[in-house]
């Protein structure tokens, strides 16, 4: 039940029935095909005619085995590093001069 503004009234839910009961059954069904899915990925990785399909299958297989790699950003630009150090030192000076007190 909703009020005039469209919000749910206290004690009422937008999903009164809760999660669908079949959701757990669907997950179990999907897991039952995991061996076949892995075999399909391996087959595609080894035998697909298209390089893109082989690459995508290999990538999906590796992601499932090892997880996605972390992205690390490295910047060797000295000017950028100097600018960051200047900002950091100014912030430290500002905080030590008493400007860091809560309002």
Q: What is the pLDDT of residues 5-40, one digit of tens each?
A: 888 888 777 777 776 667 678 888 888 988 999 999
In a domain, 32, yes or no: yes
Mean pLDDT across 72-100:
77
In a domain, 49, yes or no: yes
Do residues 42 and 61 touch, judged by C-beta distance below 8 A? yes
Report how many domains make up the chain.
1
Residue 27 placed within a domain: yes
Separation between Cα atoms, residue 44 and residue 54, nearest integer Å:
6
Q: Is residue 90 part of a domain?
A: yes
pLDDT digits (tens, 9 = 90+) for 35-81: 999 999 999 999 999 999 999 999 998 888 888 888 776 766 777 77
β-strand partners of 6: none
Kindly state whether residue 8 falls inside one of the protein's structural domains.
no
Determine the Cα–Cα distance for residues 2 and 16; give it in Å rounded to an integer: 13
In a domain, 30, yes or no: yes
Whether pTM > 0.75 for this model: the answer is no
For position 103, what pLDDT does the model report?
Answer: 44
HSE toward the beta carbon, residue 64, CA cutoff 13 A: 12
Q: Which domain holds residue 65?
A: 22-99
């Amino acid at each position: 039940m909703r009020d005039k503004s469209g919000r749910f009234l206290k004690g009422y839910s937008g999903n009164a029935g809760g999660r669908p009961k079949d959701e757990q059954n669907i997950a179990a069904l999907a897991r039952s095909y995991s061996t076949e899915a892995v075999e399909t990925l391996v087959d595609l990785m080894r035998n697909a005619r298209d390089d893109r399909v082989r690459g995508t299958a290999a990538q999906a297989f590796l992601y499932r085995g090892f997880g996605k790699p972390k992205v690390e950003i490295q910047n060797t630009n000295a000017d950028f590093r100097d600018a960051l150090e200047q900002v950091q030192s100014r912030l430290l000076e500002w905080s030590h001069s008493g400007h860091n007190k809560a309002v």
